[in-house]
Amino acid sequence: MYNPASPQAEEFIEHEEILAALQYAEENKANAALIDAILRRAGEGKGLSHREASVLLACGLPDRNEEILRLAKKLKEAFYGRRIVLFAPLYLSNYCVNGCVYCPYHFQNTHIPRKKLTQAEIAREVIALQDMGHKRLAIECGEDPLHNPIEYILESIDTIYNIHHKNGAIRRVNVNIAATTEENYRKLKQAGIGTYILFQETYHKESYELLHPTGPKHGYARQTEAMDRAMRGGVDDVGLGVLFGLEGHKYEFAGLLMHAEHLEAAFGVGPHTISVPRIKPADGIDPGAFSNGVPDGVFAKLIACIRLAVPCTGMIISTRENQQVRARALELGVSQISGASRTGVGGYTSNQHDTDQFDISDNRTLDEVVRWLMALGYIPSFCTACYRQGRTGDRFMELLKAGQIQNCCQPNALMTLQEFLMDYASPATRLVGEGLIAREMIEIPNQKIREATLGHLEAIRQGERDFIV
């Protein structure tokens, strides 16, 4: 029986409910009156249920589809302004005991070199990332209790936070490691992580089991209930995602939203972020072998519909996608992007690609990405303030819902951009950035905060760092 508040995977992601939602969506895909009513509700910015959002995703009326995209852009701007948060992945180890059929790190892949960074190697990678200007990382790791136990992850987080090279610092470490125990999530929280990210890969249980034939990741309940354990362990910022291409995208979309509804129902706080990865070519992996590939146009609509369904949830897109797809995604809902990423173990300090997890499609430097974002009218942000001020989980959501983001995120974004311009930007990027900061200051509504920010910006130009509003 479908029960969003249930602690059991198969009750909060109930297969029959997904099928019913998809049937309802199919039956109503040309029902203009219903679609208009759902669009009106979406316009209120309070989100949509998985059934309502599924109708929008299925909608076959061209003018209503235009309206979906228009509304997504409007909500994106209303909730997130024009700030885009930047981060980079850091691969620690590709040792893995799982058998995920889409991932080159699966244990049967004998020709991929296995590599695990030492703490000294992590320090060198972090210095390379700091030297680009990164302040926020997502650590990535295969699942291997022997090679990559939780102690290794915790030690690595400690190493990362303690490297201070020139003016550099990693101020937020998000963690994308395999599903683990409540006790381990508590340890991660104590180690000061930002978001715990775990992709469900697919919500379709039968497919999930086929795609993960062996290893601890085979367990559908272990994967699907992981965020509950994370929440109980005190990690209240969690990041969801599916790997698009494995299963039908409409099924995944409904499952993703049901997962978000479950977290709201069970813990009073939805996911902090949703990622939208699509399968990419990798060592021994051909995306063409998976029959559910999502074309670019459908991908854009998916992003827009997620934006309408969960307007308070940040959305992440990685360098799996090219510049053009990323630009469209930013317009329609994405609020965080990675830049200058390497997907191999030790990738920031070597030119070898033999441990890459997948091919990337955006190879630009961070400086180029920052300049590009500004040319598109966005404010690149290296802000990590919320989590460092304890504004996580429901406290972050309250701030967002109260419309206080503009007095908080805008100054922090501008100050971290100023730091980037001083320490890492090329002259061309710095020129554009200085103009942008001057223009954007007037968008801070509160006069006191505006004046304080002006003072901090001047202090940053004089060499001080790390101000938070």
Kindly tell me which residue out of 107, 199, 426, 454 binds ligand SAM, with binding defined by CB under 6 A. 199
Interaction residues for ligand SAM, span 46-75 (CB under 6 A)? none
Q: Which is nearer to ligand SAM, 102 or 378 (CB)?
A: 102
Question: Smallest gap, in angstroms, from Cβ of residue 199 to ligand SAM?
Answer: 4
Q: Which is nearer to ligand SAM, 159 or 355 (CB)?
A: 355
Rg (CA), the chain: 21
CA distance 90 to 88: 7
Q: Which is nearer to ligand SAM, 104 or 411 (CB)?
A: 104
Sign of CA dihedral 321, 325, 326, 329: negative
Binding mask 5-24 for ligand SAM (x = CB under 6 A): --------------------
Helix 150-161 and helix 119-132: axis angle, to 10°?
Answer: 40
Kindly tell me which residue out of 272, 320, 328, 342 binds ligand SAM, with binding defined by CB under 6 A. 320
Interaction residues for ligand SAM, span 443-462 (CB under 6 A)? none
Kindly tell me which residue out of 177, 305, 436, 469 binds ligand SAM, with binding defined by CB under 6 A. 177
Q: Which is nearer to ligand SAM, 43 or 216 (CB)?
A: 216
Interface with ligand SAM, residue 212, by CB under 6 A: no
Interface with ligand SAM, residue 136, by CB under 6 A: no
Interface with ligand SAM, residue 143, by CB under 6 A: yes
- Tell me the β-bridge partners of 137: 88, 173
Range in contact with ligand SAM (rule: CB under 6 A) among 20-28, 176-184, 387-395, 441-449: 176-184
| DSSP assignment string, 12-64 | HS-HHHHHHHHHHHHHTTT-HHHHHHHHHHHHTTS---HHHHHHHHH---HHH
**Which of 177, 201, 302 has the alpha carbon at shortest distance from 250?**
302
Q: Which residues of 51-68 are buried (b: 16+ CB within 10 A; e: fewer)?
A: bbbbbbbbbeeeebbebb
CA distance 81 to 409: 9
Interface with ligand SAM, residue 198, by CB under 6 A: yes
Cα dihedral 314/200/236/188 (nearest 10): -120
Q: Which is nearer to ligand SAM, 82 or 320 (CB)?
A: 320
Interface with ligand SAM, residue 176, by CB under 6 A: yes
Q: 256, 270 in Cβ contact below 8 A?
A: no
Kindly tell me which residue out of 47, 81, 133, 142 binds ligand SAM, with binding defined by CB under 6 A. 142
Range in contact with ligand SAM (rule: CB under 6 A) among 17-25, 139-147, 150-158, 400-408: 139-147
Q: 262, 12 in Cβ contact below 8 A?
A: yes
Binding mask 102-121 for ligand SAM (x = CB under 6 A): xx------------------
**Which of 7, 449, 58 has the alpha carbon at shortest distance from 249?**
58
Sign of CA dihedral 437, 438, 444, 446: positive
Interface with ligand SAM, residue 261, by CB under 6 A: no
Residues contributing to the site for ligand SAM (CB under 6 A): 102-103, 140, 142-143, 176-178, 198-199, 201, 217, 243, 277, 279-280, 282, 285, 320, 357-358
